[in-house]
Amino acid sequence: MKGENMENDFEINEMDLDGEWLRQPALYDMWARLAARAQKERSQIDLQRKILKAKLYKETKERFEMSGKKPTGADLEAEVRTSVEYAELSQALIDAEEKVGQMEAGKWAMVEKSKSLDRLCEDRDKGFFMPGSKANSVRRQEQLKEIDKGLREEMKSKRISRG
């Protein structure tokens, strides 16, 4: 990330297209690593949650058996669902899934930024516009609309199921 504000990574400095183009691979790599790290964290939380569920099942079953009863599936599920620790891990998993979606969207935005940079550099090199010109401004608005539309579609496809 260029700074504390991640949105800066998605902006294109039209006055420094060559610099932006040269920095793009490192930015993409960073976002890809952030996405991979978020996926790893989500997987770790999911594993912790599964282990806790098994532990709670075992403890509940043992407790019931010690009192001479056999627990039903509903008894086991009730014990798991009322566990504060399980609820906390479930919320952490929801948060981790949201983070994965955000990082994947950021990675996708880097791909789109790269395409935009390629087009802008190509247009500039062909003399179609000069950075800061009115023609550039119109082209930039079109590109921003294209990127915004793509981000919305990506976020819709990555909706997190909370059910």
pLDDT of residue 149: 75
pLDDT of residue 128: 72
What is the per-residue burial (b if ≥16 Cβ within 10 Å, else e) of 113-133?
Answer: bbebbeebeeebeeeebeeee
Instruction: Tell me how far CA of residue 133 lies from CA of 11, 63, 80, 129, in angstroms.
Output: 18, 76, 62, 7
pLDDT of residue 17: 84
Low-confidence ranges of the chain (pLDDT < 70): 1-5, 129-140, 154-156, 158-163
pTM: 0.69
State the SS3 of 53-106: HHHHHHHHHHHHHHCCCCCCHHHHHHHHHCCHHHHHHHHHHHHHHHHHHHHHHH
Radius of gyration of the chain (CA): 24
pLDDT of residue 126: 78
pLDDT of residue 57: 93
The SS3 assignment for 116 reads helix
What is the domain partition of the chain in residue ranges? 17-157
And the tokens for 55? 């532990």
